Amino acid sequence: MPEKVGCISPGCPKNLVDSEIMLGILKNGDFEITTNMKSAEALIIHTCAFIGDAMEEAVDTILEAAELKKKAQLKALIVTGCLAQRYKGEILNEIPEVDAVIGTGNIPDTGSVIEKLVHGKENKVLSTGNPWDVTYLDSLRLLSCNGASQYLKIAEGCSNFCTYCIIPSLRGPYRSRTVESVLLEAEFLVNKGSRELILMAPEIDPLIYIASEEPLKIGDFVKARILDTDRMDLIGEVAEYD
């Protein structure tokens, strides 16, 4: 029988999209995705670490999830996302209930890590590296809801290296998706019922040209907006078709 996997994703819209990508990869890899955390054999906590409150929420969520090892079917507790990238080995050392830590650049490794843990091939797994890949964003997402408004992540990382910001160390240097891959995902989201697509990235300034040079027509009744997830600012509208 396929392993049952659950996911809890506190934090920002970037985290939600990454969680949906991760679950999409797992579903395509013949894992069973469950929303009943008590029945999950593996549970992913996809964390944020940009501000203190987010880290506190992430740690609280991890500790709450660890109780399922005593009370439910949980065999593998896996921490992913920005907290995992920032603190790597510290999480494994300080929270013994955690079985694996997967960094922001290692999302495609999630399935193999789960298999090793659930089947007893490994006791602890640390899978972190320097984030550089952007092609994982092209993976088919398992949407958490089929709402009229959806986020669409068009780039990853930031190369500004501002002294007050840790995004480059958490997410790696700036790299953007191809226009073709963005349009393919936009079409997928429109076919799922979306009528507003919020295009987002940690650093949006290099992508402003999209609004000024050639609007992306992604549906007859679709509005697309740009969101800078670093500043959480609405930058502008790309295109609107009535």
* pLDDT on residue 33: 97
For tokens 């993976």, name the residue: 139
* pLDDT on residue 178: 87
* pLDDT on residue 224: 57
* pLDDT on residue 226: 55
pTM: 0.85
> Could you tell me which residues come within 8 angstroms of residue 177 by beta carbon, excluding any fewer than 6 positions away?
134, 137, 138, 153, 154, 155
The CATH number of domain 4-127, selected from 2.40.37.10, 3.50.50.60, 3.40.50.12160, 3.30.390.10: 3.40.50.12160
* pLDDT on residue 166: 87
Query: Alpha carbon 211 to chain centroid distance?
Result: 25
* pLDDT on residue 29: 92
- Distance from C-alpha of 204 to C-alpha of 139, rounded to nearest angstrom: 21
Amino acid at 97: E
Residue ranges matching CATH 3.30.750.210 in the chain = 145-240
Portion of the chain with pLDDT greater than 70, in percent? 84
- Six-digit token string for 235: 């930058």
What is the per-residue pLDDT across 165-217, written as a single tens digit (0 to 9) for each?
888 999 999 888 888 898 899 889 988 988 888 888 877 654 443 433 444 45
Residue ranges matching CATH 3.40.50.12160 in the chain = 4-127
Looking at domain 145-240, its CATH class is alpha beta
What is the per-residue pLDDT across 76-98, written as a single tens digit (0 to 9) for each?
999 999 999 999 889 999 999 99
* pLDDT on residue 55: 87
Q: For all residues of the chain together, what is the average pLDDT?
A: 83
